[in-house]
């Protein structure tokens, strides 16, 4: 009985996560952030 309840809860959790709304704009991570490299060059100099 406990295993069945656990399985049902897991299925409902997966369905709930699947229906959640996606973000309108995704988070963008800058790959080439030259400004921070310039600042670090000035700090190290």
Residue-level pLDDT, tens digit, the chain, 45 residues: 778 888 888 887 777 766 565 667 777 766 666 777 777 777 776
Looking at residue 3, its pLDDT comes to 82
pLDDT for 18 equals 62
Residues listed for the chain: 45
The total number of structural domains in the chain stands at 1
Give the DSSP H/E element, type plus range, for residue 9: helix 2-18
- Phi/psi at 31 (5° precision): -85, -45
pLDDT at 13: 77
Is pTM, for the whole model, over 0.75? Answer: no
Q: Give the per-residue pLDDT at 10.
A: 83
What domain range is 26 assigned to?
1-44
């Amino acid at each position: 009985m406990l295993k069945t309840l656990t399985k049902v809860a897991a299925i409902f959790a997966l369905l709930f996560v699947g229906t959640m709304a996606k973000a309108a704009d995704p988070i963008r991570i800058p790959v080439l952030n030259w400004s921070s490299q310039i600042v670090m060059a000035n700090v190290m100099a």
